[in-house]
């Protein structure tokens, strides 16, 4: 029985890794191709934001389809639609059709993540849930980073890269649909409204929303920035991959600090570090510095710091959410992130179009500074929780809205300090 569960989890993680690998390849291929075709950055931003709009819609409606037809059929249907959308990019080039296809891709990815994460939750015992979630997050980081590098396999104008992405997405079907366990019922997993979440933890919601703006802005328009300063496709993939590597490196040490001290203080320091790194990128970029050592070192710093904002914000919100509502809160916080991610590429692309490519980093620096000011304001409004009463930090990447079911913090028997308290004042 235990061996069967291990095999199921391994198969699901393999399927998730292949799925993210193909999706990551497509995510860097499209903005690079748009840049090669001299599509204005503002238009590229709209195309890239459509993916995150699809994630929002998929988070809200995707589980309805899964509940209606079952996990295996839903996964197969969404994966087939995603493969078709991926190949269609090669058939119909243009911002309008690509924006529509990106929306479809985002919707499908939200539903696919929901399917995989709910299955992982089903196959993970309470004592192993934390380890499974950690393996899932490491898989997501590694697959995302490797997907950036796959763009170097062929010319971005050729068909090969679209075919490779579609092949990977279709191959993700095999280990998942062959899983023999029945998926859990998702009909009861409904996100807390953003209004209620904000009442419980204003900083938690604002942190996830701000993290979405930064993530969507950088990962959506970072490849365009690289093209505009004259980087090759290989250099662009290394530039983007360095930011993902930074996230992999800094999650644990910063997370441990957030458990030992006032989480808001750590979040504030992370925001200051991130904003300063973005500011340095802006000034050096405006001065025309394009050294590869600089362009690989700085993304490790700001990418690593930026990647911890979302999990720290979630952990902070969980400090004030009762255990039985953590899954719903996780879904709502992901929705706040997805809304911010939809805004990020549009805002950054407009500024880049009007004032030049360095504005990408000035905008991100300003957004980070505004969030830091809000964090400092919230610290003045409420006393810090003792470290013993804080929910333990868990490294998270924004994947699907069912990942909260895997989070060991929502287990009543888990040893995570005192039960989190709900407060109208919030944190």
Residue pLDDT tens, the chain, 427 long: 455 556 667 777 888 889 999 999 999 999 999 999 999 999 999 999 999 999 888 888 877 777 777 777 888 888 899 999 999 999 989 999 999 999 999 999 988 887 777 777 665 555 555 567 667 778 888 899 999 999 999 999 999 999 999 999 999 888 777 766 555 555 555 566 778 888 888 998 999 999 999 999 999 999 999 999 999 999 999 999 999 988 888 877 887 787 777 788 889 999 999 999 999 999 999 998 878 889 999 999 999 899 889 888 888 887 787 766 666 777 788 888 889 999 999 999 999 999 999 999 999 999 999 999 999 998 887 766 665 555 565 555 665 544 445 555 555 444 343 333 333 345 6
**Other Cβ atoms within 10 Å of 417 Cβ, number:** 17
Distance CA 212, CA 310 (A): 8
**Other Cβ atoms within 10 Å of 422 Cβ, number:** 13
pTM of the model: 0.84
Q: State both tokens at 41.
A: 């950055």
């Amino acid at each position: 029985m235990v061996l069967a569960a291990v095999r199921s989890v391994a198969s699901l993680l393999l399927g998730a890794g292949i799925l993210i690998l193909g999706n990551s390849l497509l995510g860097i291929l499209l903005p690079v191709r748009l840049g090669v075709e001299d599509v204005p950055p503002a238009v590229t931003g709209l195309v890239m934001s459509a993916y995150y709009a699809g994630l929002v819609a998929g988070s809200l409606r995707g589980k309805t389809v899964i509940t209606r037809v079952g996990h295996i059929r839903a996964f197969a249907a969404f994966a087939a639609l995603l493969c078709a959308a991926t190949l269609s990019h090669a058939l119909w080039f243009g911002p309008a059709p690509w924006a529509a296809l990106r929306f479809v891709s985002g919707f499908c990815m939200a539903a696919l993540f929901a399917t995989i994460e709910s299955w992982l939750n089903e196959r993970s015992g309470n004592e192993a849930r934390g380890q499974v979630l950690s393996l899932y997050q490491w898989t997501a980081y590694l697959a995302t980073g490797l997907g950036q590098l796959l763009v170097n396999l062929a010319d971005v104008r050729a068909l090969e890269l679209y075919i490779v992405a579609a092949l990977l997405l279709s191959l993700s079907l095999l280990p998942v649909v062959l899983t023999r366990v029945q998926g859990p019922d998702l009909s009861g997993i409904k996100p807390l409204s953003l209004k209620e979440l904000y009442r419980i933890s204003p900083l938690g919601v604002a942190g996830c929303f701000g993290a979405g703006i930064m993530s969507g802005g950088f990962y959506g328009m970072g490849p365009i920035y690289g093209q505009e300063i004259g980087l090759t496709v290989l250099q662009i993939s290394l530039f983007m991959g360095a930011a993902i590597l930074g996230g992999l490196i800094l999650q644990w040490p910063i997370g441990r600090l957030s458990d030992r001290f006032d989480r808001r203080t750590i979040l504030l320091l992370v925001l200051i570090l991130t904003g300063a790194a973005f500011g340095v990128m802006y000034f050096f970029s405006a001065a025309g510095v394009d050294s590869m050592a600089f362009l690989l070192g700085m993304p490790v710093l700001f990418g690593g710091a930026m990647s911890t904002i979302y999990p720290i914000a979630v952990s902070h919100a969980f400090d004030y959410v009762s255990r039985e509502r953590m899954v719903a809160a996780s879904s709502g916080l992901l929705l706040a992130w997805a809304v911010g991610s939809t805004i990020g590429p549009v805002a950054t692309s407009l500024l880049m179009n009007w004032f030049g490519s360095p504005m990408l980093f000035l905008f991100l620096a300003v957004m980070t500074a505004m969030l830091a000011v809000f964090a400092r304001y919230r610290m003045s409004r409420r006393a810090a929780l003792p470290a013993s009463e804080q929910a333990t930090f868990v490294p998270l990447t924004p994947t699907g809205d069912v990942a909260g079911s895997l989070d060991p913090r929502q287990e009543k028997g888990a040893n995570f300090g005192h039960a989190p308290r709900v407060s109208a004042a919030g944190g």
